[in-house]
Copies of this chain bind each other. A is one copy, B any other.
Amino acid sequence: MKLPETTFPVLWLYGLSGAGKTTMAKGLQLHFRNAGIPVVILDGDELREGLNKSLGFTQEDRRENIRRTAEIASVLSKQGIFVITALITPLEEHRQLAREIIGAERLLDVFVDCPFDVCEYRDVKGLYAKARKKEISSFTGIGSSFDTPADPFLHLTTHEHTREECLQTLIQVVTPLLNTPTVFTNAQLLQA
Residue positions of A touching B, CB distance < 8 A: 26, 29-30, 33-34, 36, 38-42, 46-47, 50-51, 68, 71-72, 74-76, 79-81, 101, 182-184, 186, 189-190
Contacts and interface: CB of A to CB of B under 8 A. Distances in A.
A190 B40 CA distance: 14
A79 B76 CA distance: 13
23 contacts: A26-B190, A29-B79, A29-B189, A33-B80, A33-B189, A34-B183, A34-B184, A36-B182, A38-B80, A40-B75, A40-B76, A40-B81, A41-B79, A46-B75, A47-B75, A50-B74, A50-B75, A50-B101, A51-B75, A68-B68, A72-B72, A76-B76, A81-B81
Contacts of A183: 34
Given A38-B81, A51-B68, A81-B81, 5 more contacts: A38-B80, A40-B75, A40-B76, A50-B74, A50-B75
